[in-house]
Amino acid sequence: MKGDIIRQTYEIKCIAPVHIGSGEELRTFEYLYNRDKLELCLLNESKWLAFLETRGLTEAFIKYVEIEGAGRSPRNLLEWLTANRVTEADLRKAGAIRRKVPVAQLSEKKYKNRKPTLNKVVCHLVRSDNAQPYIPGSSIKGTLRTGILHHFIRKDPARFRPYWQEICSVRGSLKEKGHKWNEIILRLEQELLHTLTYEDTERGDAAASALRGLCVSDAMLVGCAAKAPTIIVQKIDATTLIKPGERRGESPIVLFRECIPADSRLRFTITANLPMLRAAGIDSLPSVLNMLRTCTLDGLTRQQRVFEAIDAKYYGALFDDITAFKANALLGGGTGFLTKSLIYALADKENDARRFAAAYFDEQFTNPSHKHMETDVRLTPRTLKRAQTDGADWIMGLCSITGVGNAETL
């Protein structure tokens, strides 16, 4: 029927940096880092290797990599090249530089004057044709799916209590439990969303999922206020564990991610088959965005309550962004366990979910210093994932998704 299928354009405003990993992780001998300029150069692998061969540096480079791999090298790749009388201009002329990415400094006072020393860099997903970052539609749809499941669980918690009881009763190794937990959540999803009935189709079949009626395109960059379309950001967590003599718990981690900068804009479309969605109780695309917003705010409010109790003025500024920019989503990697988990929605009480998560983390991270069951008395996970770039401070991955214009009837 006319009006059953619609297409709506949406815009993502990156309130904070957003990281979508490409699967590419670079070690120090795989990129150039100019610490004075705070600039990283990614290499064109084939042309880089050809350049080394032309300069007669292949054997020397292999030895350098062996030393670096053993952790005995005091020099990064740029310093090694300088010692071998190779300039950046030489590399540009040979086409060995693929693209340049600025590197951000931490904004925290005790770190802000320190230029970061890079190690492993996790690259962002970029288009091969123009090196522009994008967010895959599958990532956006996965976030919407979590929001939809959260909504229906919260709407009728008693209905889903047996799933929580089953999750808590699972025994075995962490790997075995992980498989069983995934099976339980899959059954929950099938009960909620596998509501389409076709001949020769069973509930467990993918063809029965009402989310087949939600087709999400990739989100492409349409605006960027920063000087480059991506930026390297160091991982930093706020934590409820506070060292003696410290006012807050801050934990910079030696991991660097390539991100879409804050104040960037991306656009994507959702094509919706409304009869399919209605079969699962989803009335409209605006209702899907409302579900996502409620799910996002549920986790953020839990964190806000805990961290503002530690330092209301300091952490309050981070959470003010939620209202100021009408945030309704946390997108990408590095946003934390709460954005991807349904345990707080499923559990009878918040403390039950916290204890379950603490036991899980103690089993996953065997370092005795973690002690989640012993020390996480307010929140598990006990960290707030942040992103800092040159004086600014945000909640990692914080975004606003809004409709653009009117929906088109197909």
Of 358, 288, 280, nearest to 140 by C-alpha is 288
Of 330, 304, 302, nearest to 319 by C-alpha is 304
Average the pLDDT over 212-234 and give the result: 95
Residue 116 near residue 59, CB atoms below 8 Å: no
Tokens of 261: 């900068």
The pLDDT mean for the chain works out to 91
Query: Would you tell me how many other CB atoms lie within 10 Å of the CB of residue 81?
Result: 21
pLDDT (0 to 100) of residue 243: 87
Model-wide pTM > 0.85: yes
CA–CA separation, 42 vs 30, rounded Å? 8
CA–CA separation, 182 vs 410, rounded Å? 36
Residue 214 near residue 142, CB atoms below 8 Å: no
Average the pLDDT over 280-294 and give the result: 97
For the cut 80, the answer to whether the pLDDT of residue 397 exceeds it is yes
For the cut 90, the answer to whether the pLDDT of residue 262 exceeds it is yes
Maximum mean pLDDT: which of 98-112, 212-226, 353-367? 212-226
In DSSP terms, 264 is beta-bridged to 224
Residue pLDDT, tens place only, 383-396: 999 999 988 999 99
Residue 106 near residue 388, CB atoms below 8 Å: yes
Residue pLDDT, tens place only, 120-137: 898 888 886 777 999 999
Average the pLDDT over 191-197 and give the result: 92
pLDDT confidence bin for 1, thresholds 50/70/90: low
Of 14, 10, 9, nearest to 327 by C-alpha is 14
pLDDT (0 to 100) of residue 119: 81
CA–CA separation, 319 vs 312, rounded Å? 10
The CA angle 373-374-377, to the nearest 5 degrees, is: 85
Question: What does the buried/exposed string (b/e) look like for 92-103 if buried means 16 or more CB atoms within 10 Å of the residue's CB?
Answer: eebebbbeebbb
Compute CA 164 distance to the chain's CA centroid, rounded to the nearest angstrom: 26
In DSSP terms, 32 is beta-bridged to 41
Query: In angstroms, what CA-CA distances link 286 with 3, 101, 281, 289?
Result: 16, 36, 13, 5
C-alpha R_g of the chain? 24
Contacting residues for 36 by C-beta, under 8 A, at least 6 apart: 115
Among the listed ranges 71-80, 302-311, 321-330, which one has the minimum average pLDDT value? 71-80
pLDDT (0 to 100) of residue 74: 64
Burial (CB count <10 Å: 0-12, 13-18, 19+), residue 266:
buried
Residue pLDDT, tens place only, 19-54: 999 888 898 889 999 999 999 999 999 999 999 999
DSSP string, 155-166: HSHHHHHHHHHH
Average the pLDDT over 139-157 and give the result: 96
CA–CA separation, 178 vs 339, rounded Å? 18
For the cut 80, the answer to whether the pLDDT of residue 293 exceeds it is yes
